[in-house]
């Protein structure tokens, strides 16, 4: 099956639809934030659903780090067909996941071209991660940043209750 292509195309359509829809309503500045949160919200719901199915047969996790390792490995392989390249943490609830060849960005460019457009294509994935972690009992804020195309960093900050 080649459904990863399907997912990539669907994701592109989704992003373009949401941004077009908002742009037609005017008020560009405010809208950028709503677009991101709409996409993020969709990702959140899907992440919740996916993690239930991924962890069906896996043993329970020891601690937060164990959960993050699962996200970096199994979750990422299932969703984006590769592992996270680098995981860093300050041991105080902040994790940085670095993917040097992020699947949803690789078709764009491998330099600075389209760098301004790229963040649109990360909101959904941030939501996926947040949804997954949320169903594993971790409330987080997930953000992403890109410095050079196709390589991006996801920052996960666990919210203390």
Partner 1 sequence: MSRQSNRTTDSKKMNAELFTLTYGALVTQLCKDYENDEEVNKQLDKMGYNIGVRLIEDFLARSSVGRCQDFRETADVIAKVAFKMYLGITPSVTNWSPAGDEFSLILESNPLVDFVELPDNHSSLVYSNLLCGVLRGALEMVQMAVDVKFAQDTLRGDNITEIRMKFIKRIEENLPAGDE
The rounded Cα 65 to chain-centroid distance in angstroms is 18
8 Å CB contact between 126 and 43: yes
8 Å CB contact between 99 and 151: yes
Q: Which is nearer to partner 1, 65 or 77 (CB)?
A: 77
Beta partners for residue 153, in sequence order: 98, 145
Choose among 101, 123, 100: nearest CA to 16.
123
Asked if 108 interacts with partner 1 (CB under 8 A), we say no
8 Å CB contact between 96 and 143: no
Asked if 3 interacts with partner 1 (CB under 8 A), we say yes
Asked if 82 interacts with partner 1 (CB under 8 A), we say no
DSSP-assigned letters across all residues of 110-135: SSSTTTTTGGGGTHHHHHHHHHHHHH
Q: Which is nearer to partner 1, 26 or 161 (CB)?
A: 26
Residues 33-62, one symbol each (x = binds partner 1 by CB under 8 A, - = not), give -----x---xx-xx--xx--xx--x-----
Asked if 81 interacts with partner 1 (CB under 8 A), we say yes
Q: Which is nearer to partner 1, 3 or 116 (CB)?
A: 3
Asked if 2 interacts with partner 1 (CB under 8 A), we say yes
The residues that touch partner 1, with contacts defined as CB under 8 A, are: 1-7, 9-11, 13-14, 16-18, 21, 38, 42-43, 45-46, 49-50, 53-54, 57, 74, 77-79, 81
């Amino acid at each position: 099956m080649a459904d990863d292509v399907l997912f990539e195309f669907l994701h592109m359509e989704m992003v373009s639809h949401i941004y077009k829809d908002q742009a037609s309503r005017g008020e560009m500045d405010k809208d950028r934030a709503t677009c991101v949160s709409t996409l993020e919200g969709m990702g959140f719901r899907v992440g919740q659903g996916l993690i239930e199915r991924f962890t069906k047969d896996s043993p329970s996790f020891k601690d937060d780090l164990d959960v993050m390792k699962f996200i970096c490995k199994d979750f990422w392989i299932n969703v984006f067909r590769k592992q996270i390249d680098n995981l860093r943490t300050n041991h105080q609830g902040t994790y940085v996941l670095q993917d040097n060849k992020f699947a949803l960005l690789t078709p764009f460019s491998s330099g600075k071209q389209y760098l301004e457009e790229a963040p649109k294509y990360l909101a959904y994935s941030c939501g996926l991660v947040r949804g997954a972690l949320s169903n594993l009992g971790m409330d987080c804020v997930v953000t992403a940043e890109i410095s050079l195309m196709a390589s991006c960093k996801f920052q996960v900050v666990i919210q203390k209750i």
